[in-house]
């Protein structure tokens, strides 16, 4: 891999201000002056984070790429530490617009409108940490993610997620993935309590239901609906409603 150029060469406009945080303040005409902002002492030109007025959001992370002039952002919630939004752009003014909207506690959709490069994960915010709503949010994320996949097996994976979501017995469980295998829990993150089988899509006509990762003993099906129906049959009948993990 080629050695990246000196950040001061790739980002001379940032170097003039001494740090990425200072450059963001300049772009917003000091509208971020009083905003708590952290920079890296070792890499001041390529990293910054900006606090939010909402207690259920982590600081927005902003990183500059080292091999090309481009910035990326990542915003997460403070309870599960899961991604709410991300994005990449070569327009620092757009980064500043997203940072200001995140800091001010604007709704996720409004941040997207303020800075069109922002990509929403599909998760929504649950300030009261209601487990049922957190479960609904995670299902919404998985469905959004599956609909955006460009891999050859993307349609098969999307069919599996949609079939699982359509089944009430699975929809009431908290979903998560491991190596693109669909799994379930009776508690939310950050304390997952795994239950039930593992569903995997291998292609449009090959789906597996197993009870252990990397198991060669799984049952194979030709449709997502058949695999989901088999998974439901393996669920315990006395599962409690999803509780808060942690």
The SS3 of residue 4 is coil
DSSP letter string over 65-108?
Answer: -SSSS-EEEEEEBTTT--EEEEEEES-HHHHHHHHHHHHTT--H
**Do 136 and 115 share a domain, yes or no?**
no
Of the three residues 100, 120, 140, the one that is the final residue of a domain is 120
pLDDT at 221 over 80: yes
pLDDT at 34 over 80: no
Estimate the crossing angle of helix 224-233 against helix 154-166, to 10 degrees.
40
Q: Is 21 a domain residue?
A: yes
Percent of the chain with pLDDT over 70: 94
Domain that holds residue 14: 7-120
Kindly indicate the confidence band of residue 30, based on its pLDDT and cuts at 50, 70 and 90: low
Min mean pLDDT across 56-60, 135-139, 237-241 is at 237-241
Helical ranges in the chain per DSSP H? 7-10, 12-17, 20-27, 92-103, 108-114, 131-148, 154-166, 168-171, 224-233
**Do 73 and 154 share a domain, yes or no?**
no
CA dist 44 and 48 (Å) reads 7
pLDDT at 214 over 80: no
Q: Is 240 a domain residue?
A: no
pLDDT at 239 over 90: yes
**Do 16 and 101 share a domain, yes or no?**
yes
Q: What is the mean pLDDT of residues 115-127?
A: 98
Q: Is 138 a domain residue?
A: yes
Token pair recorded at residue 30: 């000091």
**Do 30 and 116 share a domain, yes or no?**
yes
Q: What is the mean pLDDT of residues 59-75?
A: 96
Q: Is 241 a domain residue?
A: no
User: What domain count does the chain have?
Assistant: 2
Min mean pLDDT across 15-29, 113-127, 156-170 is at 15-29
Q: Is 1 a domain residue?
A: no
Q: Is 243 a domain residue?
A: no
Mean residue pLDDT across the chain: 93
Helix (H) / strand (E) containing 188: none
**Do 170 and 99 share a domain, yes or no?**
no
């Amino acid at each position: 891999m080629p050695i990246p150029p000196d950040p001061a060469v790739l980002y001379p406009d940032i170097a003039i201000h001494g740090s990425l945080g200072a450059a963001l303040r300049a772009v917003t005409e000091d509208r971020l002056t009083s905003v708590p902002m952290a920079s890296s002492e070792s890499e001041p030109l390529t990293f910054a984070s900006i606090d939010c007025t909402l207690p259920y959001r982590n600081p927005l992370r902003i990183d500059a790429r080292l091999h090309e002039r481009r910035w990326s952002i990542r915003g997460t919630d403070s309870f599960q530490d899961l991604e709410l939004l991300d994005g990449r752009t070569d327009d620092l003014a757009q980064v500043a617009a997203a940072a200001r909207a995140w800091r001010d506690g604007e709704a996720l959709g409004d941040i997207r409108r303020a800075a069109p490069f922002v990509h929403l994960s599909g998760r929504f915010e649950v300030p009261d940490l209601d487990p049922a709503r957190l479960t609904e949010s995670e299902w919404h994320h998985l469905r959004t993610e599956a609909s955006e996949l460009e891999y050859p097996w993307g349609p098969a994976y999307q069919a599996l997620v949609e079939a699982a979501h359509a089944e009430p017995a699975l929809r009431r469980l908290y979903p998560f993935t491991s190596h693109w295998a669909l799994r379930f829990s009776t508690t939310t993150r950050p304390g997952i309590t795994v239950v039930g089988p593992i569903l995997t899509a291998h292609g449009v006509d090959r789906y597996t239901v197993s009870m252990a990762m990397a198991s060669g003993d799984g049952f194979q099906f030709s449709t997502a609906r058949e695999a989901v129906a088999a998974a439901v049959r393996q669920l315990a009948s006395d599962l409690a409603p999803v509780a808060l993990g942690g």
